[in-house]
Chains A and B, each alone.
Chain A
């Protein structure tokens, strides 16, 4: 039996309490303990961004982060972007621009794009490209992804 510990944090706006093995990664906790399978496992080494989540307002690779380090913090996963009113502007922009092919990279891509467009309301296409360097898409649809990010910037500007 590996050592477990209890942690408390906010997940997509709701408080959660969960027991996790102390060496478990946040990605495993999300998918296997909490049943939130939107966040994807691909490389497991910080290279691809499929596992991107937002922690205390900044995005991280959840495959590298110890689950115990979630204690006391605020997590947002792809499941948390949608509100009762519908998709958030970044999700909607990705759908509208057909930026999605097989979709596997999309939860991480959209969380990262949402973070970038919140963080810098004046985000340029070049800055978006740099900000998405940690997100790989095996379907290589990067042009439409960048179109979608530009549209998300615009949509957020109008929504403000």
Chain B
């Protein structure tokens, strides 16, 4: 293990990003990804270890105008139990419901799930469907800087993203879906919980007069990054949601997904699941 030279648990965002600007900081929130990774040697600690759970204002779920803002340190349990999320974005609550175990949900943060940048990150999938953006904060030229990045453009490869090492993810923001928004999420693993998804599919859009619009489709564990499945979206966009369009969407899912064989599942099986789930999720949406 590398020598850690200082430990910080800042109370303010300014303090945190100033330390990050000074360099080589390892941030932790719930630690549910960082601990196994540092224990196994897959990841090394930087010179400074920083606990971000004490930063004021970094957790909580709130309405901000016509948007919903979720602080980066908000836990999966908090999302799962939040009345605003249940009302306005049930697809996110559904993903929280099927996330790991109670003990992990109580520790795991949304910011950690996104920054870990696993193609299997379960909260990422519904956030892509909700067209969320992430807020990144840093310290430059004596001032706090923030920028917003659409989640769709955040990931660049397995465990890689556009966030610079000196940037802290502070919040996730998405527009409150309109009342005709429908969406659902489905994941699989050999065990119902506590399993990294073999495959996940999330689909959402506005359904009025039987026609599906502004369709967004996200898939997990079928590509190097969490994926927006543009082929499936095109197969559904502006069409009536019926047996024909569902058949077209399933065919497009087969083309969009480019999974690999690994210890958890074969590429063939993942392709199969992604088609089954696309059909199941669309039938669920149609049935409600």
Nearest 8 A/B pairs, CB to CB: A134-B101, A22-B7, A133-B193, A58-B106, A64-B35, A134-B103, A61-B103, A60-B107
Chain B proximity mask over A76-107: 1 for CB below 8 Å, otherwise 0: 00000000000000000000000000000000
The contact of A112 among B5, B100, B103, B193, by CB within 8 Å, is B103
Residue ID in chain B nearest A73 by CB atoms: B53
In the bound assembly, the distance between CA atoms of A102 and B18 in angstroms comes to 51
Pair B35/A63 contact, Cβ less than 8 Å: yes
Residue ID in chain B nearest A26 by CB atoms: B31
Chain A proximity mask over B191-219: 1 for CB below 8 Å, otherwise 0: 11110000000000000000000000000
Q: Pick 14 A–B contacts, CB within 8 A, sort by A.
A: A3-B5, A23-B45, A45-B39, A46-B100, A46-B104, A47-B194, A61-B103, A61-B107, A63-B35, A64-B104, A66-B28, A69-B28, A133-B192, A133-B194
Q: Which of B6-59 contact A (CB under 8 A)?
A: 6-7, 9, 28, 30-32, 35-36, 38-39, 45, 49, 51, 53
Chain A proximity mask over B216-228: 1 for CB below 8 Å, otherwise 0: 0000000000000
Chain B proximity mask over A46-61: 1 for CB below 8 Å, otherwise 0: 1101001000001111
- Cβ–Cβ < 8 Å partners of B6 in chain A: 3
Q: Which of A102-129 contact B (CB under 8 A)?
A: 112, 116
Residue ID in chain B nearest A134 by CB atoms: B101
| Given known A-B contacts A25-B35, A71-B9, A133-B192, A52 and B103 have beta carbons under 8 A apart | yes
In the bound assembly, the distance between CA atoms of A112 and B45 in angstroms comes to 31
| Given known A-B contacts A3-B5, A3-B6, A60 and B51 have beta carbons under 8 A apart | no
A38, CB-defined interface residue at 8 Å: no
The contact of B31 among A22, A49, A69, by CB within 8 Å, is A69
- Cβ–Cβ < 8 Å partners of B193 in chain A: 130, 133-134
Residue ID in chain B nearest A111 by CB atoms: B103
B261, CB-defined interface residue at 8 Å: no
Chain A proximity mask over B80-116: 1 for CB below 8 Å, otherwise 0: 0000000000000000000011111011000000000
In the bound assembly, the distance between CA atoms of A61 and B28 in angstroms comes to 15
- Cβ–Cβ < 8 Å partners of A61 in chain B: 32, 103-104, 107
B143, CB-defined interface residue at 8 Å: no
- Cβ–Cβ < 8 Å partners of A143 in chain B: none
Pair A64/B107 contact, Cβ less than 8 Å: yes
In the bound assembly, the distance between CA atoms of A135 and B194 in angstroms comes to 10
**How far, in Å, is A60 (CB) from chain B's closest CB?**
5
Residue ID in chain B nearest A43 by CB atoms: B36
Pair A2/B53 contact, Cβ less than 8 Å: no
- Cβ–Cβ < 8 Å partners of B125 in chain A: none
The contact of A69 among B3, B4, B39, B51, by CB within 8 Å, is B51
Residue ID in chain A nearest B77 by CB atoms: A58
- Cβ–Cβ < 8 Å partners of B7 in chain A: 3, 5, 22, 68
Pair B39/A44 contact, Cβ less than 8 Å: yes
- Cβ–Cβ < 8 Å partners of A44 in chain B: 39
Which of B30, B53, B103, B194 is most buried by chain A, counting CB atoms within 10 A of its CB? B103
- Cβ–Cβ < 8 Å partners of B45 in chain A: 23
- Cβ–Cβ < 8 Å partners of B5 in chain A: 3
In the bound assembly, the distance between CA atoms of A49 and B194 in angstroms comes to 11
B263, CB-defined interface residue at 8 Å: no
Pair A46/B9 contact, Cβ less than 8 Å: no
Pair B36/A49 contact, Cβ less than 8 Å: no
Pair A66/B38 contact, Cβ less than 8 Å: no
**How far, in Å, is B95 (CB) from chain A's closest CB?**
15
- Cβ–Cβ < 8 Å partners of B36 in chain A: 45-46, 64
Q: Which of B149-197 contact A (CB under 8 A)?
A: 191-194
Pair A46/B32 contact, Cβ less than 8 Å: yes
Pair B4/A22 contact, Cβ less than 8 Å: yes
In the bound assembly, the distance between CA atoms of A142 and B77 in angstroms comes to 24
- Cβ–Cβ < 8 Å partners of B39 in chain A: 44-45
